[in-house]
């Protein structure tokens, strides 16, 4: 379990500060993460990686000559926000374009995709390669849905070496895609980690038993068995991975593979070496030659007890890049010639001032702004009161971070809303500021989605007129449209969408019927709450994690549930006199 | 806990095999451990380190350019045997002499001292520097009694870099001694590790509590407190270490220190970085400049939850060597130019054949040999039957390895005794072979001591005459003298000596009085058993571990207890007809 922390909600920020302080020769801080402290050749491709914190050395620990140029470092187990990724990519850019690469998780996909679009719009050519190495997370026919685990290392390593070698963006993408296609991992787990400040581990496996198919955020496995001997585990790993050879590899015999035997945190080096000895013997028997194996901790989950084997089927080009030198805080090999350090001042970006100039607002809109602030206050308060409950619900099928992610977002949104009102903002701008702060600080899937919703609502309300029931209903409809296009979930997928759709349909229908906003919102909130509760009867959305029927049936979706809580809390602030019909 | 193993008694051998297989570019196996796989400059000093296994990357993981030339790798938490150390040192020797360096533990001291003497006798100039960095393990006035923990890294690093720079042996010793004098560590622990095949951790600390002054083999701490915040722990570390500045450092202000923040196994990187950030701030406030800090896992104890801070007070020369490049499996920094690989064949030593030529023995001695074998069989059987009990007793004040260490030794001795008899050995040679096999395979303190005892007895018995009661009593007296000169313990120190002394005194007195050997031995065994039980009323010997009165009072000493068991088991094999008066 995680025992050493100060304020649990500040844990990710503090670990990044400590990490940067410990490695000034390798990394320098920028808004949203870190970039290399050493100079790069201009006009080369920059590899920008990222993800939630809690997986050290992934992701910040892999920044340096030979691997990544920058890492967007999200909160614990939460995707970095779109703003974080854009900020890191801008700072890492050397003029040769950006390759974004990361493990395939819903929140990361949302935020990295949005960042890719924004960077391209800014004129920085940007491409993406998602890592999908975990063969236990989806069948071979649906490889694009597989999660990224320790195979991150092989893909990042090869992509970084190709960029270092001067490959242009299209070629770095080609090599990274090939590396991902040639990388397969299978993992097992014994216990989950306990996040800072939490009292329970994300999951447990009965004593003497082992979960097959680990998830590095506590996602459930695909089965369970007795803990085998070290050699029994080696046999399982080798059989699983030789049973699914990548395209172009007809037989293991005579092939060369790179190998990563990755401990998740508390399966330690001695055990790993015993298992490695057995794996090496079995692969040798299968006619496979192992090339520069890595045995240690490369993609962890705090002190989770688990271990995964990654095989990376090489060709000549991939082997060249796998063997190339690298010098990062968390992964070093071979020879890397010393690089001049970027001067301390040149690269340090100041956090953008929150006192940016406000759009001029009408009297009416400014008069309505405090009521928006009151609604945001109510959101932050209800999340504060339910943060542990939301974490508990999310831990059943997800990574247990929904409560703290929502809390970070809502807290930041509250502060931004108050600051905006004090700076003279209109009602729409208050919501826009709150939206930006929420998605930036919360990270993860829910952070991105709440950013989209509040932004849609704020845009519709604007700073001209006092917000009325129609504007708010239309804004809610815009928010739903945004969510649908962004998250691609439908009703019945056991996501937040299950609660939003009845909410918006009820709100819009009742406002059109001429109901007061307060009454309409009450009814809509009740519909959302009922729909959220009904998600308990649904299996989780395929693609998020493997269905784990016994556990997730009977548990509502955390995102739908928090939406219901928020809708109800806001209803209490909407007295009839606040908003015109 | 350790979950992945095959045969627990083969764990250390298998982990070394896997380690060697994973790092062929760095290390090659020799009898007793590993040496560098890369060529070294001739006539330079070779740094040979070592200790028990279970502390990866200590010790094998620190072999390579820039640090050690070889590592003697003992069994789990057990010192390597004298033979192992000698073998590794011979293979590592470059013609410039050997520096032996290791953490200060009784078993290691016994075996490294014996190896030093043997190497010097063979004409290989050899010196020793023991690491004594743990300020919690003895007061400043008794620094020589302090244990070595993560400060191993700073001493090894500096000594290895000095050897690499071409310093002669005296100069490497000077620098290593200065490095040790300038290195101070303080640690805390939350839980102990569970060794392979064991069902209980070596120690536990109540939930929410923290032990002050950790021992990397589960030795008890010096106190207990509530778990503080990360910053509270940083404050504790900094206060403890600034309160005891080394000679020549009058004030922390303006000084430069290297720093190692070491996780013992399951206090993970994220926590370490949060704590590091707090430490860095506090040291800065004290006017200290941190030079190239290391934050990670450098001296572990399987998956023990603990963390230590090491400060290494630099001067210009020490800083130069701290900053120098190193390229080992478990620790890499800076630039190390590539070295040619030693050819795979050249350095591989064959294990010496156990079929070495036997000393010719008399008929009488050969006829008596099977009775010696029967006694060794009885020893192995009684240890097999009590292996868990011995481990449990030892875990109270020690590292819990007494049972498995004795089992490894006795099992090897049994095999060697049978092989010797089949090869036609006399009674004395059977015991000498058993003695060598015991100390070589058992390692640790008890392995060294049982080797000394059996060797003394075998030498006295010889291969000329049938062993009689007088020869055996004299041999027992020789064994006691050997133990006393070797182990330096006295009666009342709560060690094996408490049982041996009454045993030998009783045996010798009764044999002189003319009793049959069987009767005399029975009485001696009863005296040993009673004395072993009486050690329960003694505090543990100072210097082994800090007294931990509540736990060790009421528990007999494991070494004395096993001696009593063995004496009793052997008594059963000594019928009157077996041995003449």
Q: What is the pLDDT of residues B40-85, one digit of tens each?
A: 888 999 999 999 999 999 999 999 999 999 999 999 999 999 999 9
pLDDT of the residue at A399? 73
Catalytic residues of B, by residue number, are 217
Q: Is the pLDDT of residue B398 over 90?
A: no
Contacts of B276 in chain A (CB under 8 A): 18, 21-22
**Which residue has tokens 């801008």?**
A90
Q: Do A271 and B338 touch (CB under 8 A)?
A: no
Highest-pLDDT range among A357-371, B191-205, B309-323, B545-559: B309-323
Q: Do residue B54 and residue A270 have CB atoms under 8 angstroms apart? A: yes
Catalytic residue among A23, A26, A69, A217: A217
Closest to A91 measured CA to CA, from A46, A41, A26: A46
List strands edge to edge, sheet with A126-131. Answer: A27-30, A33-36, A70-76, A46-53, A98-103, A126-131
Contact criterion met (CB < 8 Å) for B269 and A335: no
CB pairs under 8 A between A and B: 169
CATH class of A8-332: alpha beta
SS3 of residue A463 by DSSP: coil
A16/A244 Cα distance (integer angstroms) = 38
* Chain B CA closest to residue A197: B229
Q: Please say if the pLDDT value at position B349 is more than 50.
A: no
| Shortest distance, CA B439 to any CA of chain A (angstroms) | 23
Interface of A with B in 9-38 (CB under 8 A): 11, 14-19, 21-22, 25
A233–B335: do the CB atoms touch at under 8 Å? no
Q: CA dihedral in degrees (B188, B191, B197, B200; nearest 10)?
A: 130
Q: Would you give per-residue pLDDT tens digits along chain A (581 residues)?
A: 889 999 888 999 999 999 999 999 999 999 999 999 998 888 999 999 999 999 999 999 999 999 999 999 999 999 999 999 999 999 999 999 999 999 999 889 999 999 999 999 999 999 999 999 999 999 999 999 999 999 999 999 999 999 999 999 999 999 999 999 999 999 999 998 888 888 788 888 998 999 999 888 888 788 999 999 999 999 999 999 999 999 989 999 999 999 999 999 999 999 999 999 999 999 999 999 999 999 999 999 999 999 999 999 999 999 999 999 999 999 999 877 777 777 654 444 444 444 456 678 898 899 999 999 999 999 999 999 999 999 888 888 777 788 889 999 999 999 999 999 998 999 999 999 999 899 888 877 888 889 889 988 998 899 988 888 888 998 998 898 888 877 678 888 888 999 999 999 999 889 888 888 999 999 999 999 999 999 988 876 654 444 344 566 788 899 999 999 999 999 888 865 555 44
What are the phi and psi torsion angles at A189 (to 5°)? -140, 150
Inter-chain residue contact B5 with A230, CB threshold 8 Å = yes
- Please say whether the structural domain B1-131 has been given the CATH code 3.40.50.300: no
Write out chain B residues lying below 8 Å of A22, CB-based: 273, 276, 280, 293, 295
CB contact under 8 A, B271 and A5: yes
Test A278 with B2 for CB contact under 8 angstroms.
no
3-class state of residue A41 by DSSP: coil
Token pair for B434: 């058993």
Q: Other C-beta atoms within 10 Å of A533: how many?
A: 15
Of B230, B302, B332, the CB nearest to A6: B230
pLDDT attached to residue A545: 43
Q: Cβ of A277 and B4 within 8 Å?
A: no
Which candidate in B10, B51, B269, B401 is best for mutational testing of the A interface (most A CBs within 10 A)? B269
- What's the confidence (pLDDT) of residue A338? 72
Backbone angles phi, psi at A244, to 5 degrees: -130, 80
* Amino acid A353: pLDDT: 42
**Whole-number pLDDT of residue A512:** 87
| Exposed / middle / buried, residue B577 (Cβ in 10 Å: 0-12, 13-18, 19+) | exposed
User: What pairs with residue A189 in β-bridges?
Assistant: A211, A306
B486 close to A (CB below 8 A): no
> How much is the mean pLDDT over chain B?
90
Which of B233, B268, B338 has the CB atom closest to A303's CB atom? B268
Residues for chain B: how many in total? 581
SS3 (DSSP) at B409: helix
For residue A265, list chain B residues with Cβ-Cβ distance below 8 A.
266, 268
Chain A residues near residue B22 by CB distance under 8 angstroms = 273, 276, 280, 293, 295
Every domain of chain A and the residues it spans: 8-332, 363-571
Asked if B229's CB is within 8 angstroms of A15's CB, the reply is: no
Closest to B274 in 3D by CA, of B303, B227, B231, B305: B231
Rounded distance between C-alpha atoms, residue A294 and residue B405, angstroms: 31
The interface residues of chain A toward chain B in range 289-328, judged by CB-CB distance below 8 A, are: 292-293, 295, 300, 302-303, 305, 307
CB-nearest to A274 from B5, B277, B338 is B5
SS3 A303: strand
Banded model confidence at residue B578, pLDDT cuts 50, 70, 90 = low
Bridge partners of residue B48, in order along the sequence: B70, B100
Contact A280 B22 (CB under 8 A): yes
Is B270 within 8 Å of A2 (Cβ atoms)? Answer: yes
**A295–B22 CB contact, under 8 Å:** yes
Using a CB-CB distance cutoff of 8 angstroms, which residues of chain B are in contact with residue A227?
Answer: 3-4
* CB pair distance less than 8 Å for B227 and A276: no
State yes or no: cis peptide before A174, omega within 30 of 0: no
| Least reliable range by pLDDT among A566-575, B291-300, B395-404, B488-497 | B395-404
- Residue B155 class from Cβ within 10 Å (0-12 exposed, 13-18 middle, 19+ buried)? buried
User: Which CATH fold would you assign to the domain A363-571?
Assistant: 1.25.40
Please list every residue in chain A whose beta carbon sits closer than 8 Å to the beta carbon of residue B303: 266-268, 303, 305
pLDDT band at B1 (very low <50, low <70, confident <90, very high): confident
pLDDT at B32 over 90: yes
Q: Is the pLDDT of residue B294 over 80?
A: yes
pLDDT-derived band at B356, boundaries 50, 70, 90: low
Among B3, B296, B299, which would you mutate to test the A interface (most chain A Cβ atoms within 10 Å of its Cβ)?
Answer: B3
Q: A184 in helix, strand or coil?
A: strand
| Residue A359: per-residue pLDDT | 72
Structure tokens at A350: 């100041």
Average pLDDT over residues B133-152: 95
CATH architecture of B132-194+205-325: 2-Layer Sandwich (3.30)
Q: How confident is the model at residue B544 (pLDDT cuts 50, 70, 90)?
A: very low
Residues A168, A274 contacting (CB under 8 angstroms): no
Min distance B274 CA to chain A CA atoms (Å): 4
């Amino acid at each position: 379990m995680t025992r050493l922390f100060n304020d649990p909600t500040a844990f990710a920020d503090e670990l990044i500060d400590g990490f940067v302080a410990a490695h000034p020769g390798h990394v320098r801080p920028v808004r949203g993460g870190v970039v290399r402290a050493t100079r790069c050749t201009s006009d080369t491709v920059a590899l920008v990686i990222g993800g939630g914190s809690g997986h050290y050395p992934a992701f910040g620990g892999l920044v340096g000559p030979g691997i990544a140029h920058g890492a967007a470092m999200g909160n614990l187990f939460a995707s970095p926000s779109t703003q974080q990724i854009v900020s890191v990519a801008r700072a890492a850019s050397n003029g040769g374009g950006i390759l974004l690469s990361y493990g395939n998780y819903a929140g990361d996909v949302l935020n990295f995709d949005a960042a890719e679009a924004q960077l391209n719009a800014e004129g920085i050519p940007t491409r993406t390669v998602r890592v999908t190495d975990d063969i236990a997370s989806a069948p071979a026919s649906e490889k694009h849905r597989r999660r990224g685990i320790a195979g991150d290392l092989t893909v990042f390593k090869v992509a970084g070496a190709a960029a270092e070698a001067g490959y242009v963006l299209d070629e770095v993408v080609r090599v990274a895609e090939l590396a991902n296609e040639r990388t397969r991992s299978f993992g097992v787990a014994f216990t989950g980690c306990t996040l800072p400040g939490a009292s329970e581990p994300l999951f447990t496996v009965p004593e003497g038993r082992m979960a097959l198919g680990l998830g590095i955020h506590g996602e459930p496995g695909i089965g369970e068995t007795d803990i085998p001997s070290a050699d029994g585990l080696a046999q399982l790993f080798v059989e699983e991975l030789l049973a699914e050879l990548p395209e172009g590899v007809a037989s293991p015999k005579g092939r060369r593979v790179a190998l990563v035997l990755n401990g998740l945190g508390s399966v330690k080096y001695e055990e790993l070496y015993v298992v490695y000895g057995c794996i090496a013997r079995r692969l040798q028997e299968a006619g496979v030659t192992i090339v520069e194996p890595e045995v240690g901790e490369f993609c962890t989950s705090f002190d989770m007890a688990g271990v995964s084997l990654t095989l990376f089927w090489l060709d000549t080009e991939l082997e060249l890049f796998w063997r190339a030198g690298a010098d990062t805080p968390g992964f070093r090999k071979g020879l890397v010639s010393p690089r001049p350090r970027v001067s301390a001042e040149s690269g340090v970006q100041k956090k953008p001032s929150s006192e940016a100039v406000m759009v001029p607002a009408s009297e009416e809109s400014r008069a309505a702004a405090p009521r928006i602030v009151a609604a945001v206050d109510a959101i932050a308060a209800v999340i504060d009161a339910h943060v542990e409950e939301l974490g508990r619900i999310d831990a059943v099928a997800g990574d247990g971070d929904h409560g703290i992610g929502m809390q970070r977002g809502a807290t930041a949104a509250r502060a931004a809303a108050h600051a905006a009102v004090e700076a003279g903002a209109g009602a729409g701008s208050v919501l826009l500021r709150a939206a930006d702060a929420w998605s930036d600080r919360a990270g993860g899937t829910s952070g991105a989605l709440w950013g989209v919703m509040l932004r849609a609502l704020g845009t519709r309300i604007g700073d001209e007129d006092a917000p009325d029931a129609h504007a708010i209903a239309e804004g809610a409809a815009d928010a739903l449209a945004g969510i649908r296009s962004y998250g691609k979930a439908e009703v019945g997928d056991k996501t937040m969408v299950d609660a939003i759709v009845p909410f918006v349909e009820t709100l819009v229908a009742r406002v059109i019927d001429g109901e007061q906003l307060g009454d309409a919102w009450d009814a809509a909130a009740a519909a959302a709450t009922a729909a959220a509760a009904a998600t308990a009867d649904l299996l989780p959305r395929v693609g998020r994690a493997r269905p784990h029927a016994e556990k997730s049936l009977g548990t509502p979706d955390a995102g739908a549930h928090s939406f219901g809580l928020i809708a109800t809390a806001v209803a209490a602030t909407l007295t009839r006199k606040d908003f015109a019909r």
